[in-house]
Amino acid sequence: MFDNKGSKTSLAELGEFGLIEHLTRFVELSQASTKKGIGDDAAILQFNNEEDVVVSTDMLVEGVHFDLAYMPLKHLGYKAVMVNLSDIYAMNAEATQITVSIAASNRFPVEALEELYTGILLACKTYKVDLVGGDTTSSTAGLIISITAIGKAKPNDICQRNGAKPNDLLVVTGDLGGAYMGLQVLEREKQVFKVNPNAQPDLEPYTYIIERQLKPEARKDIPTLLKSLEVTPTSMIDISDGLSSEIIHLCKNAKVGANLFEEKIPLDPTVISVCEEFNIDSTTIALSGGEDYELLFTINQKDYDKIKGNPNFSIIGHITEEKEGMHIITRANQKIALKARGWNSFEEDEQENK
Amino acid sequence: MFDNKGSKTSLAELGEFGLIEHLTRFVELSQASTKKGIGDDAAILQFNNEEDVVVSTDMLVEGVHFDLAYMPLKHLGYKAVMVNLSDIYAMNAEATQITVSIAASNRFPVEALEELYTGILLACKTYKVDLVGGDTTSSTAGLIISITAIGKAKPNDICQRNGAKPNDLLVVTGDLGGAYMGLQVLEREKQVFKVNPNAQPDLEPYTYIIERQLKPEARKDIPTLLKSLEVTPTSMIDISDGLSSEIIHLCKNAKVGANLFEEKIPLDPTVISVCEEFNIDSTTIALSGGEDYELLFTINQKDYDKIKGNPNFSIIGHITEEKEGMHIITRANQKIALKARGWNSFEEDEQENK
């Protein structure tokens, strides 16, 4: 199968996406019920003709995906569920069940895991999702949370990543960049705390973005809203790695290009002001920040009237022929190629603590 | 929810089963499609009336569940899939898909993960199960594998843990204790190797039990065989923690008792001879060894003729009224209460390396 015995390639060389692609390139599908395997937000299983089942899984590792110095365990439990439900909603499906596996070192007392589960169960209750299974085991170091989410949808409603067509409109929900800037504020406070443990930070002005980081909400409302508007996106993905990388996913999967308009990217005023405070370009943060768990989708132009003016949606660009490439049109009317600079869990740089 | 803030209970105090029960006692189910949540080998989901979906998940942690000193990565990948498929077959269902999440520290080169995936994909191919999703991320220490298995079955075929009735027969597939004794041999060789790295061990006489430990096979054949014999067990469970603890599970779930006959417990000749070599009682090993991934089930007495003499099955006892308790009847005709001494991932004794 793999034929490079003896050589040693570090995980960082391939990166997360490259590694998954590399390891799964020999996967063969043999079950009639597997409609779509690896390569989308969730797998699509068809056990009957009425309703498809969608399945997605995500693993969160202490020291890689979260830092317990500023992430309370209850929030962590809640967020871990959100990350997974977001993938189900990105299929335009309804999330119905999750399983949760936890590995925790002995430094965690039972009460710490109770905190974690309180957050998990709060998420389940709020999102009407059933916790139906899991595993709890010890680890030699740290805390690892692995969640699998299951959902359902009518076959015709499901949105994959590959359906975008030239002239489709590019739409995003909510606003972007908040989760990343929230993390920057928390990182800064952690450094201040290290120097002076008695410092009393005033985090009030940052409430919105800290909440975006610590307690994100998955967009359960969007599949329902789209149905009521009678809009079925031609493709959809959730924004976990930053707008730029998600646009590139949709374009590559559908073999199309895209034009994104900088001035149309939705930003919360807090994000704009904190970006100024940190002297960072807010567009860069929206493009590369990640962890916003908003949804990015494409719709046929005929559906424009159905979503225009809806405060949940921002039309940020349109799909083009593949040969035209993927670009952002800046406020200064410059055309710049889009680059994926999303979260890479194997990168050994400052991103590693993201 | 949990109301014991401030106190600190170590994970070992509750044990694995106690901890899962403790953490999930506030779980509420709200989805109509959740037919059975936590508490069996797999959850049962009903998205339509034709076929139920079953879902199970298991996590394997380096240093807790496996030791890479004697577990080749390819075998580890294979075994990780088996552990999960076994739970699906224990529902009398057909396994159809898995998702695989891996966290690996940077000490693992890509080639090591390729080895792991080679084993995972071999298992998928052999068992006709599709790998449909997953996550690959870095860890701060060691290797963690989290797998979720999905299967399907007609609602009437599914066997839960709670259906045993007094006078039912207690049946087990294959033979027991091999995986545990295989581990003992491997542990001994590891110690010898530490003292003398040039020692050339002759493991030939131990082939069967080492294979039971390193490359177990889940009993995919049993649901098919039972169907062809027109036998639907009244309850079923897979033997991951040792016969004793699994019998107790079936009895407690069905509120019944059981008599197990020592002389009927199926043992391979290798297990008997290696137990003599290690001066361990082979019955104790069969009762508490675990990791055999055989199936334990109960059938109505009317089905006795359908399975008697079948080399895949051993009738090892029968179900009694709850008040009679759970006992093993020894070869010397003594009646001894059954105790759960299965694998406990939080126990801090010699079991920890199991």
Q: Kindly report, residue by residue over B101-159, the tens digit of the pLDDT.
A: 999 998 899 999 999 999 999 999 999 999 999 889 999 889 999 999 999 999 999 99
On the CB side of A74, how many CA atoms lie within 13 Å of its CA?
A: 6
The number of C-alpha atoms within 13 Å of B55 and in the hemisphere containing its C-beta is 37
Q: Give the span between the Cα atoms of A143 and B21, in whole angstroms.
A: 19
d(CA A210, CA B243): 50
From chain A residues 152-211, the ones with a CB under 8 A of any chain B CB are 152
Print pLDDT tens along chain A (354 aa): 676 656 788 877 777 777 888 888 889 999 999 999 998 899 999 998 889 999 999 999 999 999 998 899 999 999 999 999 999 999 999 999 999 999 999 889 999 999 999 999 999 999 999 999 988 999 988 999 999 999 999 999 999 999 999 999 999 999 999 999 999 999 999 888 888 888 777 888 999 999 999 999 999 999 999 999 999 999 999 999 899 999 999 999 999 999 999 999 999 999 999 999 999 999 999 999 989 999 999 999 999 999 999 999 999 999 999 999 999 999 999 999 998 764 444 443 333 333
Q: What is the pLDDT of residue A354?
A: 33
Which token pair is A284?
Answer: 């860069």
CATH code assigned to B169-353: 3.90.650.10
If one counts every other C-beta atom within 10 angstroms of the C-beta of residue A247, the result is: 30
Beta bridge partners of B44: B36, B54
Q: Which residue has the tokens 């498809």?
A: A52
Which residue of A14, A103, A150 is in closest CB contact with B144?
A103
From chain B, the residues in CB contact with A61 under 8 A are 103, 137-140, 144
Contacts of A2 in chain B (CB under 8 A): 111, 114-115, 117-118
Residues paired with A314 in a beta bridge: A172
Q: Does B28 touch chain A (CB under 8 A)?
A: yes
For A126, the closest chain B residue by CA position comes to B30
CA distance B205 to chain A (A): 30
pLDDT in tens, B206-254: 999 999 999 999 999 999 999 999 999 999 999 998 999 999 999 999 9
**B55 and A101: CB-CB below 8 Å?**
no
Hey, are the CB atoms on A47 and B45 less than 8 Å from each other? no
- The residues of chain B that CATH labels 3.30.1330.10 are 31-153
- Per-residue pLDDT of B30-64, as tens digits, reads 999 999 999 889 999 999 888 999 999 999 999 99
B58 known member of a binding site? yes
CATH of A49-153, one of 3.30.1330.10, 1.10.10.10, 3.40.470.10, 3.40.50.1820: 3.30.1330.10
Rounded Cα gap, residues A116 and B291, in angstroms:
29
* B139: nearest CB among A27, A61, A117: A61
Are A111 and B64 a contacting pair at CB < 8 A? Answer: no
Residue in chain B nearest A7 by alpha carbon: B111
**DSSP calls for B184-243:** HHHHHHHHHHHH-TT-----GGGHHHHHHHHS----THHHHHHHHTT---SEEEE-SS-H
Task: Judge: B23–A113 Cβ closer than 8 Å, yes or no.
Answer: yes
Chain A from 96 to 115: CB within 8 A of any B CB: 96-97, 99, 101-104, 106, 108-111, 113-115
pLDDT above 90: residue B340: no
User: B99–A31: do the CB atoms touch at under 8 Å?
Assistant: no
Would you state the pLDDT for residue B22? Answer: 87
Q: So what's the pLDDT on residue B182? A: 96
CB B111 to CB A5 under 8 A? Answer: yes
Instruction: Report residue B306 as tokens.
Output: 């359908």
CB spacing of B11 vs A129 below 8 angstroms: no
Q: Is the pLDDT higher at B202 or at B253?
A: B253
User: What is the helix (H) or strand (E) element at residue A267, kind and residue range?
Assistant: none
B114 contacts in A (CB within 8 Å)?
1-2, 4, 22-23
pLDDT of residue A15: 73
Q: Give Cα B229 distance to the centre of its chain.
A: 24
Q: Which tokens in the block code for residue B243?
A: 């016969």
Inspect the interface and report whether the beta carbons of A37 and B9 lie closer than 8 Å.
Answer: no
Under an 8 A CB cutoff, do A133 and B28 touch? no
Distance CA B71, CA B64 (A): 13
Q: Nearest chain A residue to B121 by CA: give it.
A: A27
Interface contact B137, partner A, CB < 8 A: yes
Mean pLDDT of chain B: 91
Q: What is the pLDDT of residue B198?
A: 82
- The conformational region for residue B290 under phi > 0 = left, psi -120 to 50 = alpha, else beta, is left
B-chain residue closest to A130, CA distance:
B29
Residue A23 sits at the chain B interface (C-beta within 8 Å): yes
- Is A227 an interface residue toward B (CB < 8 Å)? no
- The fold for domain B31-153 equals 60s Ribosomal Protein L30; Chain: A; (3.30.1330)
* Burial class of B3 by CB neighbour count within 10 A (0 to 12, 13 to 18, 19+): exposed
A41 is in an annotated binding site: yes
From A114, which residue of chain B is nearest by alpha-carbon distance? B23
Write out chain A residues lying below 8 Å of B115, CB-based: 2
CB proximity A260 to B under 8 Å: no
Chain A residues within 8 A of B42 when measuring between CB atoms: 133
Provide the number of CB pairs (under 8 Å) joining chain A to chain B.
320
Considering only CB atoms, which chain B residues are within 8 Å of A37?
130-133
Sequence ranges of chain B with CATH classification 3.90.650.10: 169-353
pLDDT of residue B185: 95
Measure in Å the smallest separation between the Cα of B334 and chain A Cα atoms: 36
Residues B2, A104: C-beta atoms closer than 8 Å: no
